[in-house]
Amino acid sequence: MSALAVSGVSKRFGSLQVLRDINLSLEKGQMLALIGRSGSGKSTLLRCMNGLERIDAGHITIGGHALSYAPAALRRLRQDVGIVFQAYNLFPHLTVGRNIMLAPRLVLRWPSARAEARAREVLATVGLSEKFDAYPNQLSGGQQQRVAIARSLAMAPQVMLFDEVTSALDPELTGEVLITMENLARSGMTMVLVTHEMSFARSIAHIVAFMHDGRIHEIAPAKDLFARPRTEELRRFLSSTL
Ligand SMILES: Nc1ncnc2c1ncn2[C@@H]1O[C@H](COP(=O)(O)OP(=O)(O)OP(=O)(O)O)[C@@H](O)[C@H]1O
């Protein structure tokens, strides 16, 4: 059974067709990178995967559950699918630990001690155990992004989505987020990431999908896609990113 399956998905915003007949499937522990020009539909596809955007046609299945928009099903989906954005959106007035404990406390209604234990566990996963009592403004951008990842992990998702998570970071901080994501992949997490950084996609993803005009134009194992682009569109895109 796939950890994530997308079949025949289409989506339009008014008269603009943004996604056209998207099909893909990921096994547990696989990492997919979505690449392509600005406006090709990458973020929209990612947002459809956790119900932030509604699809017009097709099906999305996560961990065997079909996506539906009934409120209870959406709540369940948001627990199963974590999403991390370019902006970390940590609450500045709460410590790192409290930021991470918030969703388990409010959504899962966990008692404080259990939420704290979970927060310490996921903070260790991203290599920031010693920052439990720090405030976000005492951390670097890379550290804040790792806290944002930990905050998502606290809900024990089956799939993690990353939208341009390194774009706001200085290049020297990108590496630490990359290591965190590689460790997650090794632990068996299924992941989808949107990125403009080809070196990031090349070094971290198992599978890369090139989106063009709302379609998956090429999809292949990372090493094949970059070494042997099959279409003129991908060749042109890759040379524009050099
Ligand atoms: N909420 C919305 N309402 C209307 N149009 C939208 C909305 N969100 C996105 N779009 C349009 O859909 C198209 C695809 O946008 P999307 O953000 O998915 O592209 P992208 O490939 O992720 O681009 P980028 O790399 O710039 O983030 C664009 O033309 C965009 O302007």
- Paired residues of 57 in beta bridges: 10
125-128-132-137 Cα dihedral, nearest 10 degrees: -130
Residue nearest to atom 26 of ligand 1 (CA): 38
Q: Which domains does the chain have, with CATH numbers?
A: 4-240 (3.40.50.300)
Q: How many whole angstroms separate alpha carbon 6 and alpha carbon 118?
A: 31
Q: Name the residue at shortest CA distance from atom 17 of ligand 1.
A: 43
Q: Which atom of ligand 1 is nearest to the CA of 45?
A: 18
Per DSSP, 140 falls in state -
CA of 57 to the centre of ligand 1 (A): 18
**pLDDT given for residue 227 in this prediction:** 94
Question: How much is the pLDDT for 179?
Answer: 86
pLDDT tens per residue across span 167-218: 777 777 788 888 888 889 888 899 999 998 898 899 889 999 999 999 999 9
The predicted structure's pLDDT at residue 63: 81
What confidence score (pLDDT) does residue 27 get?
A: 93
Structure tokens at 160: 């993690």
Question: What is the 30 CA–ligand 1 centroid distance (Å)?
Answer: 25
Residue 234: per-residue pLDDT: 96
Give the tokens for residue 21: 């007949």
Residue type, 29: G
Mean pLDDT value across residues 7-30: 96
Give the list of residues 6+ apart from residue 134 with CB closer than 8 angstroms, or none: 95, 96
Nearest atom, ligand 1, residue 214 CA = 14
Strands (E), 67-131: 81-84
Task: State yes or no: pLDDT of 114 exceeds 90.
Answer: yes
Give the separation between CA 73 and CA 208, rounded to whole angstroms: 29
Collapsing DSSP to helix, strand or coil, 43 comes out as helix
- The half-sphere exposure of 125 on its side-chain side, counting CA atoms within 13 A, is 25
State residue 238's pLDDT score: 94
pLDDT reported for residue 158: 92
Q: How confident is the model at residue 163 (pLDDT cuts 50, 70, 90)?
A: very high
- The candidate with the shortest Cα–Cα distance to 141, out of 181, 171, 173, 165, is 173
Strands (E) across 155-214 are located at 159-163, 190-194, 207-212
Give which of 166, 123, 121 is closest to 142, Cα–Cα.
166
How, if at all, do strands 57-62 and 65-66 pair?
antiparallel
- For residues 206 and 165, the model is more confident at 206
Nearest CA to ligand 1 atom 12: 18
The average pLDDT across 150-160 equals: 94
**Distance, CA 150 to ligand 1 centroid (Å)?**
27
Q: Is the pLDDT of residue 241 over 80?
A: yes
Query: How large is the average pLDDT for residues 33-48?
Result: 96
The region of weakest confidence among 2-11, 76-85, 207-216, 220-229 is 76-85
Residue 157: pLDDT over 80 = yes
How much is the pTM? 0.93
Closest protein CA for atom 16 of ligand 1: 41
Per-residue model confidence (pLDDT) at position 191: 96
Mutate to test the pocket of ligand 1, among 10, 11, 13 (most ligand atoms within 8 A of CB): 13
Q: Which residues line ligand 1 (CB under 6 A)?
A: 13, 16, 18, 36, 38-44, 194
Looking at residue 170, its pLDDT comes to: 78
Ligand 1 atom closest to the CA of 34, numbered from 1: 21
